[in-house]
Every structure is written in structure tokens, then in C-alpha cells.
Structure 1
Amino acid sequence: MTAPLRAGLIGLGHMGRHHARVLGQLPDVELVAAADPSAEAPGRGSVTVDVVGSVPELLDRGLDLCVVATPTVTHEEIGLQLAEAGVPTLIEKPLAHDSKAAQKLVEAFERNGVVGCVGHIERFNPALRELRRRLAEGQLGEVYQIVTRRQGPFPARIADAGVILDLATHDIDLTRWVAGSLYTSVSARTAHRSGREHEDLVSAVGTLENGVVVTHLVNWLSPLKERITAVTGEKGCLVADTVSADLTFFANGTQTVEWARVASFRGVTEGDVTRYAFPKPEPLVTELSGFVAAVRGTPGDTVTMTEALRTVKVAELLAESASAGRTVEVPAPLPAQRSAMDVAAGVAR
């Protein structure tokens, strides 16, 4: 029988407590301790964990893996310590506060031959996974457009980032993953409406290498909580709601519209609407299970640090575009980087 992996956790805030709960439930993992100098032990349900005050104290426990769920500005320092200690690590998204720091993390984990993953949890939402599967099977035919809407009230947990780095990175990552194609250009506009240093609203458009046009609407100014990804193609539209984990297909109509005036106005006719039934496991359980599999050296579904670095770079270009008031080009990755991203995402080119 394989011994359980000894897991550590750094950060016991909102997301960290969820990681503690799930790590405590995984059958082949033992959560030995968490590091957080300011937190109390996260007793939530049946989850309890020993709390230490620093990363070195946590490393002294002898870890097989670690999850980092701390504010983004701390990811670089903590991640470098774990890489040098040889501890396989999953860092919550975004990977780092800027692309230079993200690049340092990528290089450190590669240099030390250590597994490094990033917690882009939307990839593990069952609605988006089902959507991606159906796209791969050709349900929509040629894909024309991907639209994401991510809006809701201001999250009190955020103090060190604006909506681009905190929220839009979800949409950048999931769009590239769903489409199997990289961004080539982006254009964005932002606004500051809540009196904070960082932007609280962004509206962005972009293009992908495969010609798909993308649109992202992101804010934390709305009383309406919305997490929608809509993919439109030649055969209809698939809409994933990641709050409810529902996926709905709006098919193009096959019935002709005989009333000429209506036909000329409506263009594509409306067909059947289908909401699919499929298994809906908790995304965090799926994500951490894939990370554990990767640590054990078996095939695991993970987001690599190279992919996450690319997401941070695109987020920076959104901010640059908004500041300059113009469209900016997204540099193509080096061949080795492209290969690593494509293999990780299961994309055949």
C-alpha cells in the first residue's frame, strides 16, 4: 500500500481554508501542517490542522507537496523557497504579481526539477470541461467567438490587485484552454469607480491564433453575480455557467422562416435548446487530485507554470492597452514554451 503524501499548506484565508478541507479529505494525502502567522487553526467542519508561523517551520515537517494560497504579492518569495527545498508545489492563481516574478518561478522549478502547478480552478469546473469536450468533438463546427462575463460585488478578501490580475486571469486562461489557441492581440478599457488604487472594471476584446474573436467583461461593481462563458460557432452556441455548473446548447434552427420580413431580420434561426446532464464533482477536488497524481509521477490534469506565466503576460498587456488606449500585440512564445503549453493542455497542432 502506497504511503500517504505529506502535504503542507501556506495561507489560511478564504481559499486556503477550502484547500485545507479538501486536502484533509483526499484518501492518499495527509495534511500535516499549515503556515500562517496571523491565522487561527481553521476548524471548519471536521477539518483541523496544526498551524506554524513560517515557511521554514513548515518545511521542517518533511513535506511531499505544498499548496500556496497567500496574497499574490507573496507568491514569488514563497514559491522560490519551496522550489529550492525541492517541494512539489501548487500556487493559487495568478502565478505572480507580474511576469518577471512569474518567470523567476518557472525557472526555479525547472532548474530544480520540481513539479510546479498553478490553481486556475475554472479549468476544473465541470461545465467548462464538458464544453471543451464537446468542442473537441466538433459539436459547434468552426468556432467564431468566445465571450466571457465575470461580474459581482466587491470581494473583501482582495487588497493587492485589480480585476485584471485577480479575475480576468481566469478568463484569459480558460479561453486559451477551451479554444486550444493563444492570444495574438488584445485591446482593453478600464475604470476606477470604487475609490481604490486598482481598476475595478475592464472590458476587453482580443483575437486568437486560430482567428477566434474573444470578449471579456469583468467587474466587481455589480450586485449581479455572473460567471458565463459563451462559445458561438457555425452550428450554434454553447453557454457554460460556472456558478451553477450548467451547460446549455442553443442549436441553429433547421426550420425555414416563411415570413420574409422576419427571416431577413433574424438571420440565423432559433433551434432547440438543450441543457445537458453530466457529473459535477467539486472543481477543487478535481484540481488537487490532478496535482497529487502529478506529484506521484502519474498522468494528472494540471495547469503548468509555463501556461500560467503566459496568462500573467496577457493580463499585463490588457493593462498596457487600457493605459495607452490602443490595441497591443501579444508576442508569440518560443517554440519550446509553445510545446510545453500544448502538451499540458492536450492540444494537437
Structure 2
Amino acid sequence: MSTRRLRAGLIGLGAMGRNHARVLAGLDGVEFAGVLDPVGDPTGAVSVPVVSELADLLALGLDYAVVACPTALHEEVGLELAAAGVCALIEKPLALSVEAARRLVEAFESRGLVAGVGHIERYNPALRSLRTRLEASELGDVFQVVTLRQGPFPHRIADVGVVLDLATHDIDLTAWVTGQEYVSISARTVSRSGRPHEDMVAAVGQLTGGAMVNHLVNWLSPLKERATVVTGDRGCYVADTLTADLTFYANAAIDTEWEALRTFVGVSQGDMVRYALPKREPLLIEHELFRDAVDGKQSGIVSLREGLRTVEVATAVLASARDGATVTIPSAEATATHPRQRTPERVEPSSERSKQSS
């Protein structure tokens, strides 16, 4: 790393912002320069200057900023940072809409600035190990990816529903661990809290490699769970991202002398292995990699284009739930080459197609 310490600022001092502040305060090679938050620092979380205007934060001479304000402000703040020539790590989701996310991509790319999205699950030890094992084809062909993400209602979230806030974790990690894109999605949502946004979502999708995807997400459960299950030729992996544990359940062949069962083709439970993994804090890893990227090193950050893709899939989830139809999702390459194709295409339910053809 270079001998010069990078100067970093933080925008937003809410629950997640305070975590970012804690990491920035002790991050090697970085000087935590200041924070922007209109309400100041009532909890006394930081020992650096806290300002109320972005111009005042930029006046501190930043190399990069961490954007942890409400999602509705990501576009406005991000565009101002890009115009000022400041690199940015923007909390997920990248933006409220595909159009806003695309504008952020163009703003930072056109200026050659480093920018990333805070999809923190990519830095979870269990998922990083899972991805490495899938890349090595230890599971064989992937048949299905199932994610379960539920817990109590987060009162700090007011501007988005459970799809953009929580399900974007699962959308991003599924594409990342498998190395495949979403090609279609079908979803249902409900709202039980009296808020204008959805509280629960159930989604079924398909990836480019043919694997089925199932996402169950809600923030109305007193039970907090974070699980990713990947099933394939040789068994299944279960990643618990709350504990950062990864367990492998192997398929086993069991001989039988029972003639009636000889023709049965299936799997049986085999050995179970729980891997011993080094468990560093995901948020610290995320910050280290982004710091290195700003410092000109090759780094495994989540690019804005990847963040845009996640917003595209999340938008398709919401469109499917709204219209009651399966939505096909253009490839990332197609939407990059032909921006007009970026809007997911609604596919009529089979019952409606049959009515129209009669």
C-alpha cells in the first residue's frame, strides 16, 4: 500500500453508518476525516468533525466517501461525489430504481473514479468459501439455490420495502456464488405492518445455467435466520451467514437387495462436514478491499455495474408481484449494449395467454 494515508468521509450516521464509522476509525492506511449527518452525532459515536452539508465534508479534502444515508438519497449524493471527483462506497441497494442506478454507473465510470456497492454478504467467510468450492466444481452441476432471510422489523428502514432492503442481499450473493445470471423471476409479496412497502416476499427464479432459485424473505419474524442452501450433483452446502458456518452434506449410494427398490434412482444422506473457517469481520474486509481499490490495487469490490444488475433483478421481483406474472430479465450484456432493453419483460400467466388465444 502507498505510504500516503487516504482521507475518507462518511455520509450518514444511522445504525449502519455507526458501524462504518467504527471500522473507518481503525482502518490501516486511512485517515477518517469527517462525517456528514443533518442531525449531528447525538450518540457520540465519532471523534471526528460532523458537518451538516456535503460541501463542508468535501472541503475536508476526501479521497473517498462511504455513503450510508437512506437509499432515496443515494443518487443525489453519489452524483455530487462523482462531480467532485471523489470515489465512493455506496451502501446497498445502489439506488431506488434502475434508471437512478444507471445514472450513478455512468457518472463514476465517465470520470474514471473507483466506486463500489456495499453488498456485505460477499465478504461473509461462509459464502466466500462456498463460492471457492463451487468454482472448483466440488458440488458438480448446481440444481438449486435456496435462501432464507427473516427477522424482526427494522424500524430504521422507512423508504424501501423488504425486496430492496433485504432481498437484494440474496439476489447479489446468489449470482455471485454461482457465477450465473438471473433469466426469469416470479414473486409474490404481502404487507402486514401498515406501511406502504412490502414486508414479505417469496420468489422463484431461474439462472443461466438452468438452476432453480428460491428466495423467502421477511422482516416480521421474531426468529432471525440467514441461510443459503446450494444443492447439486454431489450433495448440498448450507451456509449460515449469522454464524459464518459452512456445512457440506454429501450424497451417498446405499446398496439394496430389495428387488422392488432396485429401479429407484435418488440420493441418500452421506457424510456431513462442517468446515473450519477463519472468521474475520465482513465489514472490515469490505473496507480493506475498497481502500486497496482506491489505492490503485486489484481488489474484489462489488462494482456499480453489479449493483445495477441487482437493482434490475429486484425491480423484476416487484414487477412480478405487482402484475402476477413471470418476468424475463435481459442479460447484463444486453442491457449494457442496448440500454432500452434494460426494463424486464412481463410474461403473461398461462391462464391469461390461453384467454387471449381463444
Using structure 1 for the length normalisation, give the TM-score: 0.92
CA apart distance, 1:263: 8.2
User: Aligned residue for 2:27?
Assistant: 26
Question: In 2, Cα distance between the equivalents of 1:261 and 1:21?
Answer: 63
Question: In 2, Cα distance between the equivalents of 1:263 and 1:202?
Answer: 41
The answer (yes or no) to whether the contact 2:94–2:101 under 8 Å persists in 1 is yes
Amino acid at match of 2:170: D
- In structure 2, relative to structure 1, the CA distance for the partners of 1:42 and 1:265 (3 Å cut) is farther
Question: In 2, Cα distance between the equivalents of 1:165 and 1:278?
Answer: 30
CA apart distance, 1:259: 5.7
CA apart distance, 1:256: 2.7
The answer (yes or no) to whether the contact 2:249–2:271 under 8 Å persists in 1 is yes
Question: Any stretches of 5+ residues in structure 2 without a counterpart?
Answer: 338-358
Question: In 2, Cα distance between the equivalents of 1:63 and 1:330?
Answer: 38
- In structure 2, relative to structure 1, the CA distance for the partners of 1:159 and 1:336 (3 Å cut) is closer
Question: In 2, Cα distance between the equivalents of 1:272 and 1:262?
Answer: 22
Amino acid at match of 2:40: A
- In structure 2, relative to structure 1, the CA distance for the partners of 1:336 and 1:309 (3 Å cut) is closer
- In structure 2, relative to structure 1, the CA distance for the partners of 1:263 and 1:43 (3 Å cut) is farther
Q: Decide which moves more: 93-102 or 246-255.
A: 246-255
CA apart distance, 1:138: 1.3
CA apart distance, 1:243: 0.4
Question: In 2, Cα distance between the equivalents of 1:141 and 1:330?
Answer: 26
Amino acid at match of 1:60: A
CA apart distance, 1:261: 7.4
Structure 1 residues 207-246: aligned runs within 5 Å: 207-246=206-245
Amino acid at match of 2:178: A
CA apart distance, 1:333: 2.4
The answer (yes or no) to whether the contact 1:41–1:49 under 8 Å persists in 2 is no
User: Aligned residue for 2:138?
Assistant: 139
The answer (yes or no) to whether the contact 1:229–1:241 under 8 Å persists in 2 is yes
- In structure 2, relative to structure 1, the CA distance for the partners of 1:169 and 1:261 (3 Å cut) is farther
Look at both structures and tell me which one has the larger radius of gyration over its CA atoms: 2
The answer (yes or no) to whether the contact 1:306–1:337 under 8 Å persists in 2 is no
**3-state secondary structure, aligned to 2:33:** strand
Question: In 1, Cα distance between the equivalents of 2:300 and 2:212?
Answer: 27
User: Aligned residue for 1:180?
Assistant: 179
User: Aligned residue for 1:105?
Assistant: 104
**3-state secondary structure, aligned to 2:319:** helix
Question: In 2, Cα distance between the equivalents of 1:130 and 1:113?
Answer: 32
- In structure 2, relative to structure 1, the CA distance for the partners of 1:139 and 1:336 (3 Å cut) is same
CA apart distance, 1:260: 6.6
User: Aligned residue for 1:170?
Assistant: 169
- In structure 2, relative to structure 1, the CA distance for the partners of 1:94 and 1:134 (3 Å cut) is same
- In structure 2, relative to structure 1, the CA distance for the partners of 1:331 and 1:212 (3 Å cut) is same
Give CA deviations for 1:2-30 in whole Å, capped at 9, x if unaligned.
12111100000001001011111111001
Amino acid at match of 1:10: I
The answer (yes or no) to whether the contact 2:253–2:267 under 8 Å persists in 1 is no
CA apart distance, 1:193: 1.1
Question: In 2, Cα distance between the equivalents of 1:154 and 1:261?
Answer: 51
Structure 1 residues 123-134: aligned runs within 5 Å: 123-134=122-133
CA apart distance, 1:194: 1.2
Structure 1 residues 73-92: aligned runs within 5 Å: 73-92=72-91
**3-state secondary structure, aligned to 1:334:** helix
**Moved >4 Å (runs of 4+):** 257-266, 335-338
- In structure 2, relative to structure 1, the CA distance for the partners of 1:219 and 1:198 (3 Å cut) is same
- In structure 2, relative to structure 1, the CA distance for the partners of 1:255 and 1:36 (3 Å cut) is same
Amino acid at match of 2:38: P
Equivalences, count: 336
Amino acid at match of 2:7: R
**3-state secondary structure, aligned to 2:177:** helix
- In structure 2, relative to structure 1, the CA distance for the partners of 1:30 and 1:205 (3 Å cut) is same
Identity of aligned residues (%): 58
Question: In 2, Cα distance between the equivalents of 1:194 and 1:260?
Answer: 55
Question: In 2, Cα distance between the equivalents of 1:311 and 1:88?
Answer: 21
The answer (yes or no) to whether the contact 1:17–1:42 under 8 Å persists in 2 is no
User: Aligned residue for 2:316?
Assistant: 317
Amino acid at match of 2:177: V
Question: In 2, Cα distance between the equivalents of 1:92 and 1:296?
Answer: 20
Question: Any stretches of 5+ residues in structure 1 without a counterpart?
Answer: 339-349
- In structure 2, relative to structure 1, the CA distance for the partners of 1:241 and 1:259 (3 Å cut) is farther
User: Aligned residue for 2:340?
Assistant: none
Question: In 2, Cα distance between the equivalents of 1:128 and 1:13?
Answer: 27
The answer (yes or no) to whether the contact 1:12–1:42 under 8 Å persists in 2 is no
Amino acid at match of 1:212: A
CA apart distance, 1:262: 8.0
User: Aligned residue for 1:273?
Assistant: 272
Amino acid at match of 1:28: G
User: Aligned residue for 1:190?
Assistant: 189
Question: In 1, Cα distance between the equivalents of 2:263 and 2:184?
Answer: 34
Amino acid at match of 2:283: L
